Amino acid sequence: MSNAFVRSAILAPEPPPSAEKGPVAWIRRNLLATPKDIVLTILALVFVVWALLHALDWLFVEAVWSGPDRTFCATAVQGGIQPDGWSGACWAFVNAKFDQFIFGRYPLD
């Protein structure tokens, strides 16, 4: 009779259970582990969605895409044509000053 407590043959490795691998398991383990983690994850997602919606609105919807001078991007108080309180990206200015953004104030010659 043998009283061995150790295997005599090595078993082949098996893949982990499907509940313990992949992106869903990572989310459960790192973002939804405790009630506090769940609340913080939901708050972070709400903030990210809010920030993205406002950024997209500012960047594309309320943006000025073309114009000959800065009055197209300025509010009435600033001497422009936009209503007071308006805010949006001024892509006309970015297009006009693009070389300066890339190269700085070096001479163009």
In this structure, which amino acid lies at residue 19? Answer: A
Distance CA 58, CA 88 (A): 5
Task: Report which residue type is found at 101.
Answer: F
Give residue 95's pLDDT: 87
What's the rounded mean pLDDT across residues 20-32? 91
Q: Residue 108 above 80 pLDDT?
A: no
State how far the alpha carbon of 24 is from the alpha carbons of 20, 28, 47, 95, in Å: 8, 6, 22, 43
From 58, 66, 65, 54, select the one nearest 88 (Cα to Cα): 58
Pick the range with the lowest mean pLDDT from 41-45, 65-69, 88-92: 65-69
- Tell me the mean pLDDT in the region 9-13: 90
Record the pTM: 0.68
- Return mean pLDDT, the chain: 89
73: exposed, middle or buried (Cβ count in 10 Å: 0-12, 13-18, 19+): buried
